[in-house]
Structure 1
Amino acid sequence: MLGKKRKLGKKIDDLQIGDSYTASHIIEEKELLLYLGLTNDANPLYIQHDYASQTPYKQPVVPSVMLFGMVSSMVSMHLPGPGSHITQHEMTFPKPVFHDAEMKFTLEVIAVDVDHHEITLSVIGFDSDGDEVLQGKLNVCPAYEPESLTGRSLENFF
């Protein structure tokens, strides 16, 4: 990582209402196991087929916070991108997502507040059947323009 230049995401002045980003992702069993191991989450509804088969879901479901993690990654990597930070979020999950599901997420800029250096994104997620499984809003602080190192290092000479 060191020495490799990384490009920052869009700055506040580069963003406008209507900008969007869409991504698809298949939720694999190994990702679920990594998440559950990392968080020490032992909810049987997430991984135990015998238990889940006895619930109204009939099969294990994907943790909703894992879905939010995928959305957060889209914000960090794509819209607005590296250097951005989610400051607030609200989400609903109207339908469960099951293991090995193919998801499609769309982020869209719905407000730009230059004075407060913040944008509002809507997010919507669909499964492969076209059913809505996630919807919400995010407030995001886009990347800041870094200060010039040479400009600051020479400020004593002006």
Structure 2
Amino acid sequence: MQQGKTIQQLTIGQSAEFSKIFTSMEVESFAEVSGDHNPVHLSAEYAATTRFKQRICHGHLVASLFSAILGTDLPGEGSIYLGQSIKYLKPVYLDDTITAKVTVIEIDEEKNRVKCETTAFNQHGDCVITGVAEIMPPRN
């Protein structure tokens, strides 16, 4: 089994990215898994009556890209995701291309904790989500 980066292998400013296009099927699947059946996510007719004018993705579905990066790349396998602050800045629409980025901003070797800035941008370069994650990287 491959192990992720230990705290000694991480540096301030180190970053990783992951991009994804969110489809209608994924939004519908997330609604089933999460129990969030808000019609703004599922009904084009309903969404047309809102300020968004069309269906939007669940915020937590989009934010799950951070977990993909943290659990598979930076720090990677064996990491424990301890916490996350999130601000949703703009809606994400179906078929938007979202690029999530995680950047190491603080390292506490004594406690084996890392804080990472988490940001997500759409295909137009607009920041749609920002926040900070706290991670416990794997030990040797």
Query: TM-score scaled to structure 2, two decimals?
Result: 0.96
Counterpart of 1:99 in structure 2 is: 94
State how far apart, in whole Å, the 2-side matches of 1:29 and 1:50 are. 14
| Residues 1:85 and 2:93 are matched in the alignment | no
> Which region of structure 1 is more displaced relative to structure 2, 47-56 or 69-78?
69-78
Q: How many residues align?
A: 140
Over 6 Å off, 4+ runs: none
Counterpart of 1:148 in structure 2 is: none
Structure 2's unaligned 5+ residue stretches are none
Query: TM-score scaled to structure 1, two decimals?
Result: 0.85
Counterpart of 2:59 in structure 1 is: 64
Counterpart of 2:36 in structure 1 is: 41
State how far apart, in whole Å, the 1-side matches of 2:118 and 2:35 are. 28
What's the CA shift string for 1:37-88, capped at 9, x where partnerless?
A: 1122211011100000000000111111111212112110111001101112
Structure 1's unaligned 5+ residue stretches are 1-5, 146-158
Q: Whose radius of gyration is greater, 1 or 2? A: 1
RMSD: 0.9
Give the % identical residues: 26
State how far apart, in whole Å, the 2-side matches of 1:42 and 1:29 are. 13
SS at match of 2:125: coil
State how far apart, in whole Å, the 2-side matches of 1:128 and 1:61 are. 15
